[in-house]
Chain A
Amino acid sequence: MAYDDLREFLSTLEKEGQLLRITEPVLPEPDLAAAANAAGRIGDDAPALWFDNVKGFTDARVALNVHGSWANHALALGLPKHTPVKEQVEEFARRWDAFPVAPERREDAPWREHTQEGDDVDLFSVLPLFRLNDGDGGFYLDKAAVVSRDPEDPGHFGKQNVGTYRLQVVDRNRLAIQPVPVHDIALHLRKAEEKGEDLPVAITLGNDPVMAIVAGMPMGYDQSEYEMAGALRGAPAPIATAPLTGFDVPWGSEVVIEGVIESRKRQIEGPFGEFTGHYSGGRRMPVIRIDRVSHRTNPVFESLYLGMPWTECDYLVGPNTCVPLLKQLRAEFPEVQAVNAMYTHGLLAVISTRKRYGGFAKAVAMRAMTTPHGLGYVSTVIMVDEDVDPFDLPQVMWAMSSKVNAAGDVMILPNLPVVELAPAAQPAGLTSKMIIDATTPVHPDQRGNFSTPTKDLPEAKDWAAKLQRLLSETRG
């Protein structure tokens, strides 16, 4: 099932019992964010939340926690809602192989219904903006898919980037943006600013659930997020042409905001409670001038709460961080079995691999750190054997506790790049990275006493099936 817009997906979530409508009157703050925060604390099947009775507003429609559980993430990919997380990641990886799937251009975009331009632009009149965390500097758009093009190659479809960046509303028609230097939009901005030019952007809000996934996905610089969305959806992604910038934007968006990042300007921004579980901000960041807003009748404002993990953000970027790393590693090292990079957008990764020879696992870990995403994120790598499931943390802990001799298995690599948001970095943007090799040493690495591991008994698999059958008969 491929959803063409957010509304179709919300309808499915409701049918599946995964959308909760809150009908009682609530305050914009702290209720909206507190409810979404709480959704992350009630288990893996938490629902999306819908609010339309928000004090002071006459027609607010707010959707939160849309991707905020494994059940909702499965439904976003068109899978049964109880699909285990490891299977969701494997299916994600399988669909990746269909990349690229060309998008389908449509011209009847529903967001063309209403327009604000120039001095009439007022975001507050379009969206019921609200604060997420106590220390946030203001109200944020944190689940937008932001489209920009390479100023030196504007006709290249693949270099057109679709990414999610935090956007602080600093005026009725102005946004502060955080283009993290390791992300594609920062490359676009740098090229524009070197020429003294503004960088046009199209900011799309309230998208189909796969757009939100690909916008937060670490892909190659010249790979198109729309072509990846097509692969993951199993159907071409519907796109339309944004009227002011001419950029390709999702056909199904609720709101499309167009303008420019003003060249060579910086202004105080933040702080903002980030995916790291810490605030970042109080820094001077680029500013967007909004020149045009297009929106549907009665637009739905989709937002995302993020704070101390796990929150919706972790479900949204968990699998989409694992799969690119898995694919990039396997391209050179087919021994790699699985990658679990679901912790803080891949600041930590657990990788299982067969060993070609002694030291191989450590080399794979170093390669993970030099993938495009790894450069700015992967800071701790735990390497485990091929028979350890990186998604089964008790198994990972067993490998760490029994296989690691720190003198030979822990490597500290000083002064490597990391996103500036990483709280442990010193200075911001630079950190020491660590490899913990919890694999069994192989020739010529002769360390340790691993010659006689216990293995599950050959008959245990049949017994497991028998026990489950007997248990289910006993329980009726």
Chain B
Amino acid sequence: MTDCCPRCAHESVRTLHSSPVPGVWDVLQCGRCLYTWRTSEPARRTRRDAYPEAFRLSSDDMANAAEVPTVPPLRSSGPSQKTGLTDG
């Protein structure tokens, strides 16, 4: 177990799922970088002190992350708020 996100050290971590066999593992998720891990994984994926430098994320990394694909400009006719779910 770890008290913070192994990847970005954020301290807000939530439980996304727990093992159907009680008590075997939990799936946790960081509230900031969304890193998701299972508590039964090796230390290199679950512990901040063992998490590889190459995969660590800082708040700067997240702030500067590129958009893929970029959000296009809205067409001049103006947006509609349809969900689009009803087209067939």
Contacts and interface: CB of A to CB of B under 8 A. Distances in A.
Interface residues of B, number: 48
Given A135-B54, A137-B34, A284-B68, A194 B88 contact: no
Interface of B: 7, 16-17, 19-21, 24-25, 27, 29, 33-38, 40-42, 44-45, 52, 54-55, 57, 61-62, 65-69, 71-75, 77-85, 87-88
Given A134-B52, A172-B16, A200-B87, A29 B81 contact: no
Given A30-B41, A195-B75, A138 B34 contact: yes
**Looking at chain A, what size class is its interface with the partner chain?**
35 or more
B71 to A, nearest CB: 5
Contacts of B77: 195
A393 interface: no
A186 B45 contact: no
Given A57-B19, A124-B17, A195-B74, 5 more contacts: A58-B20, A131-B45, A134-B55, A200-B87, A245-B85
Given A135-B55, A172-B16, A267-B34, A190 B72 contact: yes
Given A56-B19, A285-B68, A291 B35 contact: no
A200 B55 contact: no
Contact of A179 (B29, B40, B69): B69
Contacts of B61: 282
Interface in A185-212: 186, 189-190, 192-200
Nearest to B62: A268
Contacts of A245: 85
A194 B73 contact: yes
Query: Secondary structure of the A side of the interface?
Result: loop
Interface of B, secondary structure class, is loop
Contact of A283 (B24, B67, B88): B67
Nearest to B20: A58
B84 A131 contact: no
A170 B36 contact: yes
List the 7 closest pairs (A to B, CB-CB), nearest first.
Answer: A196-B79, A56-B19, A138-B36, A56-B24, A124-B17, A246-B88, A135-B55
A412 interface: no
A431 B60 CA distance: 27
A145 interface: no
A284 B65 contact: yes
Contacts of A149: 87
Given A56-B24, A131-B38, A268-B34, A198 B19 contact: no
B83 A197 contact: yes
Interface string A75-104: 000000000000000000000000000000
A260 B86 CA distance: 11
Interface string A137-181: 111000000000101001100000000000001111000001111
Contacts of B40: 27-29, 55-56
